[in-house]
Structure 1
Amino acid sequence: MWKKKLMLAALLCSAGLANAFMPQAGTWVVTSEVDGKPGRGLAIDVQNNTLLMQMYAYEASGQPTFYLAVGQVSDSKATAPLNRYTGGRYFGSGALSGAEAGNPGNVSLRFTSGTTGFITFPNEPEKAISRFNFGYPAQPASLKGFWVFNSIGNEGVFTDVVELTNALGATANGNGLLATTNNLFGCEHQTKGTLAGNLLCVKITSSGVLQRTYVLQYSVNEGEGYSVTANSSNQQMLLVRRVTDPRGAGTGLAWKSLESDKSAESPAVSPSALFQALEHLASQGLEP
């Protein structure tokens, strides 16, 4: 497993990309405190190395409160005062300005990936934190929609824009294949074998010949991993973006929705070729 990860890290460095992690913007949670009950939560965003973290929590009296921390990220780490505020605008009030009301101390964060890390609150030991994924369980239905796959490396730049819509059966190592309407591109969450925990996608020709393999991990709308051309051991960096959600709503800044152009697709082929390609790759002992 580490061999593949080291190869990907080397590829990222050779491409001139930093090997530090910036957290994915959104809702984060203290991993051990996710129990379905109201508790502490974090909103984290990093822009141009500046981290902004909002936290909702409780006072010792049980009163809810919130904090704001702003600091600089360096080498995947940040430390900043955890400031408390009071006196701001409430529902139905006129304009009011909140005022800083002290802080219990500094908060320190270190990120181990774009979706995982650790946090140290004042007077507490370090705890694991993670990006809160509440809308996309690792199931076939979560993959429905338009996706853009960008493969970048020594072989050049390759882009595939696909709409995953056809729900097919599961392979031996996955929980259900979702494919394009022509069955020439398909993806499946791997639940067994060396690729367990990853998303495995394949692109084949109309005659069933494997063209390209994609192995990635994704969170909400973003994915990263590597791709391999058929009959090659050369791995290319893979960047993936979800363009629409399963209901067809756009996930970016401008597109509200995208209409698929079925007339532009190749004629549909039997899905058996996709099953064969996925099962063959999963059984080869590929490592993430």
Structure 2
Amino acid sequence: MLKKWIAIGALLGSSLAQAYMPQSGTWVVTSELNGKPGRGLAIDVQNQTLVMQMYAYDASGNATFYLTSGAYKNNQYSGTLNKYRGGRYLGSNERIGQDNGNDGVVSMRFESGTKGYIKFPGEAEKEISRFSFGYDNSPQSLFGMWLFTPLGTSNPRSDVVYLEKQAAGSGYGTGFVTTADNRFACENVTSGPNAGLVVCIKFNIADRVEQVYYFDYKVNDGEGYTGTSAATATNLLIVRRLTTSNDDGTGITFKNAESTAPADLDALRQAFEAVVAEPIEQ
């Protein structure tokens, strides 16, 4: 995948392909993910600034809040792991938190947007990963509206599809999810050469394959390859989940209640009558 990004970066005349930001959200120390209370990370990178909030414990077992922030460059970060005290508690009046020193330097390096390594003060380096707790590899995890955008092609054309039906799959995965007309189908693949990816096929009206999509995703964002067949799937692909299975928007503005709430029929009728009763200008 990295080679492909470098290639597209060269095509666009920029260095964007050689650097990336970790996906914003909840991260975990991979080896410590056991379903029990532990420590976790909230990482966000905006432009070239990284902010990490960490919940952990001190030597006495007390819950402790940490914060580090600073410059993120070349997929790496290093900064002091700061502590705070005296802040507002539940039900309190206004209280301003104060610096309470730091526990040393924390450093991170990332090899993708969803995988990296962290070195806490006094510990060996450990793998960290983006925590995906809302989606698994079941067919239902693919329900909703998706946007597929190819890159590096002379004729880029995006597809917006709504996956809403479940059907028997290919035998390589967990089952199909299709559009209402069965012209677009996706499956979480669990065996064969594409195990671990989501594969989608777009059918034309002649029941021939028009486009194939191969991608990996975390939560709402994915990337992969696309082409008219497996042999030609060399164009880069950006994927975005636009709505969940409940039709809730994953963006910042469009929400289910705003887009699907029924209109007041009486108000609609009154507005219609007013429009009909008024002559148009000739």
| Bin of the TM-score, shorter chain as denominator length | 0.7 to 0.9
Distance 1:114 1:99, change over 3 A: same
Which structure's CA Rg is the greater one?
2
User: In the alignment, which residue of structure 2 is the partner of 1:130?
Assistant: 129
User: In the alignment, which residue of structure 2 is the partner of 1:177?
Assistant: 176
Identify the structure with bigger relative contact order (alpha carbons < 8 Å, sequence gap 6+). Answer: 1
Displacement over 4 Å in runs of 4+: none
Deviates more, 1:143-152 or 1:11-20: 11-20
TM-score by length of 1: 0.85
Question: How far apart are 1:172 and its partner, in Å?
Answer: 2.1
TM-score by length of 2: 0.87
Quick check: 1:152–1:158 contact (8 Å CA) kept in 2?
A: no
Question: How far apart are 1:11 and its partner, in Å?
Answer: 2.5
User: In the alignment, which residue of structure 2 is the partner of 1:34?
Assistant: 33
User: In the alignment, which residue of structure 1 is the partner of 2:278?
Assistant: none
**In structure 1, how many angstroms separate the alpha carbons of the residues matched to 2:139 and 2:210?**
22
Number of aligned residue pairs: 256
Give, as a single letter, the amino acid of the residue that structure 2 aligns with 1:145: G
Question: How far apart are 1:19 and its partner, in Å?
Answer: 1.7
Flag structure 2 segments of 5+ consecutive residues without an equivalent: 261-282
Question: How far apart are 1:12 and its partner, in Å?
Answer: 4.1
User: In the alignment, which residue of structure 2 is the partner of 1:60?
Assistant: 59
Report SS of the residue matched to 1:101: strand
What root-mean-square deviation, in Å, do the aligned CA atoms of Structure 1 and Structure 2 show? 1.5
Report SS of the residue matched to 1:217: strand
Distance 1:60 1:159, change over 3 A: same
Give, as a single letter, the amino acid of the residue that structure 1 aligns with 2:11: S
What's the % identity of the aligned pairs? 47
Give, as a single letter, the amino acid of the residue that structure 2 aligns with 1:175: T
- Where in structure 2 are the equivalents of 1:182-201 lying within 5 Å? 182-201=181-200
1:11 aligns with 2:27: no
User: In the alignment, which residue of structure 2 is the partner of 1:111?
Assistant: 110
Distance 1:232 1:40, change over 3 A: closer
User: In the alignment, which residue of structure 2 is the partner of 1:250?
Assistant: 249
Distance 1:185 1:63, change over 3 A: same
Question: How far apart are 1:10 and its partner, in Å?
Answer: 1.6
Question: How far apart are 1:7 and its partner, in Å?
Answer: 3.6
Distance 1:10 1:125, change over 3 A: same
Give, as a single letter, the amino acid of the residue that structure 2 aligns with 1:200: V
Question: How far apart are 1:230 and its partner, in Å?
Answer: 4.3
Distance 1:114 1:252, change over 3 A: same
Distance 1:178 1:74, change over 3 A: same
**In structure 1, how many angstroms separate the alpha carbons of the residues matched to 2:177 and 2:206?**
19
Give, as a single letter, the amino acid of the residue that structure 1 aligns with 2:3: L
Quick check: 1:69–1:80 contact (8 Å CA) kept in 2?
A: yes
Report SS of the residue matched to 1:154: coil
User: In the alignment, which residue of structure 2 is the partner of 1:284?
Assistant: none
Question: How far apart are 1:193 and its partner, in Å?
Answer: 1.1
**In structure 2, how many angstroms separate the alpha carbons of the residues matched to 1:42 and 1:86?**
19
User: In the alignment, which residue of structure 2 is the partner of 1:267?
Assistant: none
Give, as a single letter, the amino acid of the residue that structure 2 aligns with 1:214: Y
